[in-house]
Structure 1
Amino acid sequence: MKTFQLDPIPGSEITPESVYKRRHLLMGTVGGLLVAGCARSEPAAPTEATAAEAPAEEALTTFQHATNYNNFYEFGTGKDDPARYAHSLITSPWTVEIAGLAETTGRFDLADIVKLAPVEERIYRLRCVEGWSMVIPWMGIELGKVLAHFKPLADAQYVAFTTLADPKQMPGIRSRVLDWPYVEGLRLDEAMHPLTILATGMYGRDTLENQNGAPLRLVVPWKYGFKSIKSIVRIEFTKRRPPTSWNRSQPSEYGFYSNVNPGVDHPRWSQKTERRLAGDTNLLFAKRIPTRLFNGYDQVASLYSDMNLRKYF
């Protein structure tokens, strides 16, 4: 397939490197996002009364923990398998196919896609469906600004994503734990929300570690971590809701929306609390804290105001 060139955003709209590397976009409260520094001290566990509030400061998960405790089944199902085996992933050159209901489609170099929006640092909570969570400083670009460049058509209602599936690079694909390639999807308004980003780096670094989804991954902070598809090679605009890997594999356990919701338990465990892997705390000794609806990102609540969140889980 032919590779096309993209017109970059004007230089006047690109955040200077000296600025964006100091910018810490934290968890936010109702009405907008909070721009501030992130404390590195261990926070007190929230009480039931304050559990719904997003604190202004939270301890970052260490780089060591964030890069050595991962889910990336293409490299194995163990939490340390991705860090052990992902060195085999070749991340350059890398292209992404844009397909479906959009005026502009084709295969594009990753470098050209990254130029379509300013790179910012976003410090987000990442909540795993298994009951643990992290606070990670991502470097990334707003997905909505990228998608707008390709001009989705009026019939486009969803965005589908696909991960690379190469058994030569990804030994986990030889197993049948999932139907490869890994696929995910968002409703178009979810994808266009300014909180949704394509991450290209972390902890102030311009690139992601392979085990964290290099070179391009989705981060949707109000959804469970398995929605944050890694090593993306295809983005498609669709009219109908696309299939997603975990929903297709175990539909009674993993819904399409996958919003963090303490009121809707996983069939095999409660989602009311979580263990925060923050600072140098070992997960085994981490305090259990209340889980917040939408992971504390209240500004997305309007996306689901007319939905039964038990039915559409």
Structure 2
Amino acid sequence: MLIRRPADVLPSEITPEPVYRARRQLMGAALATPLLGLAGCAEADTPAAGGAADAATDTPDGFRTSEEQTRFANASTYNNFYEFGTGKADPAENAHTLQPVPWSVTVGGAAGKRGTFALEDLLKDRAGEERIYRMRCVEAWSMVIPWLGMPLGTFLRQFEPTSNARYVRFVTLDDPRQMPGLRYPVLDWPYEEGLRIDEAMHPLAFLAVGMYGRPLPNQNGAPLRLVVPWKYGFKGIKSIVRIEFTEDMPPTSWNKSAPREYGFFANVNPAVAHPRWSQASERRIAGGGNRIFAGRIPTRPFNGYAEQVAPLYAGMDLRKWF
């Protein structure tokens, strides 16, 4: 098992965070023509949003939090994307080979509208949104990231899922020429994930095409990735090329690899330890200057989104259905 705890990043590796001024204009442009003509739109720097995690507040819908945001430099260089290597810095170093334009998504299964669609056509004429979400990795570190994109439910409804669509399956690009990590049997490639249909249609579930007011970097899942803030980060599948509506629960990569450690639902639950470490607390990656870890904080059920999503799991044994 190659998922592992993070190592500290040296101060010399940390660069200033780019700002996301004029964010609203970028959101509209990113969704109208995803990643086309935006590659040179990086803007000036701005400090991360203030507020300690324990003093921060969320909007009632959960779409925004005032918690201190992770710096772009850290969010774009400290992450897991095994298609480009198993080290935290490997994706940023190796993902330049990914070609996110042009991009298409194939849709199949229990839906009235199936086929292969250009991504710009799927996102055209849909208003951009910003969501500032906590992201909790199963490795017990966390971030706060401003995402750009659209509600997953809005995206999925355009394909007219039928009453037989009880689950949604997602698949990542499988191209060793663009993703050198696919040459190694770390997982059973391609990477695949899934959600129950009611989870996928929940207002918090999000498809991101950007972050920090710019298109998604390759290493963060360009040009299209899933963000499910109440679940562990491995549910956030990146570089999506296929979506399928299914009647049966779809297989998922980490669950196939180690079912005792990585469940299908993967809801953040501090009361359920990973077999090799506790999930009761997490290391928050945030802060300016020479800091990367802003301290250790308690992990909250559903990553702090229990008010919004707990009813989805009424009557379920959340220990059994990890």
1:118 to partner: Cα distance: 2.2
Is 1:243–2:246 an aligned residue pair? no
Q: Which residue of 1 aligns with 2:88?
A: 79
Task: Classify the secondary structure of the residue corresponding to 1:295.
Answer: helix
Aligned position for 1:9: none
Post-superposition Cα deviations, 1:61-81, rounded to whole Å, max 9, x if no partner, equal: 001000000100000000000
| Structure 2 counterpart of 1:255, one-letter code | G
The answer to whether the aligner puts 1:99 opposite 2:145 as a matched pair is no
Displacement of 1:114 after TM fit? 1.4
Mapped partners of 2:246, 2:176: distance in 1: 28
Structure 2 counterpart of 1:280: 288
Measure how far apart 1:286 and its partner are.
Answer: 3.0
Q: Structure 1, residues 139-159: CA drift from partner, whole Å, max 9, x if none? A: 011110111111111111000
* Structure 1 residue 19: Cα displacement: 10
Determine if contact 1:46/1:290 at 8 Å carries over to the other structure. no
Deviations 1:217-240 (A, max 9, x none): 000000000000000000000000
Query: Could you say which residue in structure 1 is the equivalent of 2:9?
Result: none
Q: Secondary structure at the match of 1:173?
A: helix
TM-score (norm 2): 0.81
**Partners of 1:75 and 1:255 in 2: how far apart?**
24
Task: Work out whether 1:256 is the aligned partner of 2:264.
Answer: yes
Write the mapping of 1:140-219 to structure 2, written as runs, cut at 5 A: 140-205=149-214, 207-219=215-227
Alignment of 1:28-39 (within 5 A): none
Match of 1:224 in 2: 232
C-alpha deviation, 1:112, in angstroms: 1.2
**Cα RMSD (Å) of the superposition?**
2.3
* Residues 201-230 of structure 1: per-residue CA shift (max 9 Å, x gap): 01011x100000000000000000000000
2:142 aligned to 133, 137, 140, which one? Answer: 133
Counterpart in the other structure of 2:4: none
Alignment partner of 2:69 out of 45, 51, 60:
60
Could you tell me the percent identity over the aligned residues?
A: 62
The DSSP-based 3-state class of the residue aligned with 2:144 is: strand
Q: Which digits, 9 at most, give the CA deviation of each residue in 1:189-212, with x for residues without a partner?
A: 00001111110001011x100000
Return 5+ residue gaps in structure 1 as ranges: 1-15, 22-37
Distance between the aligned counterparts of 2:279 and 2:97, measured in 1? 35
Number of residue pairs matched by the alignment: 277
The residue correspondences of 1:10-25 to structure 2 (distance < 5 A) are 17-18=24-25
Secondary structure in 2 matching 1:257: coil
Alpha-carbon distance in structure 1 between the residues aligned to 2:264 and 2:289: 32
> How far apart in 2 are the matches of 1:153 and 1:61?
39
Three-state SS of the structure 2 residue aligned to 1:176 is coil
Query: Of 295, 314, 321, which aligns to 1:312?
Result: 321
The answer on whether the counterparts of 2:204 and 2:228 sit within 8 Å (CA) in structure 1 is yes
Runs of 4+ in 1 over 6 A off after TM superposition: 281-284
Q: Compute the displacement of 1:280 (Å).
A: 2.3
Preserved CA contact (<8 Å) 1:46 1:289: no
Query: Is 1:290 aligned to residue 298 of structure 2?
Result: yes
Q: Which moved more, 1:100-109 or 1:146-155?
A: 146-155
> Contact 2:53–2:67 at 8 Å: present in 1 too?
no
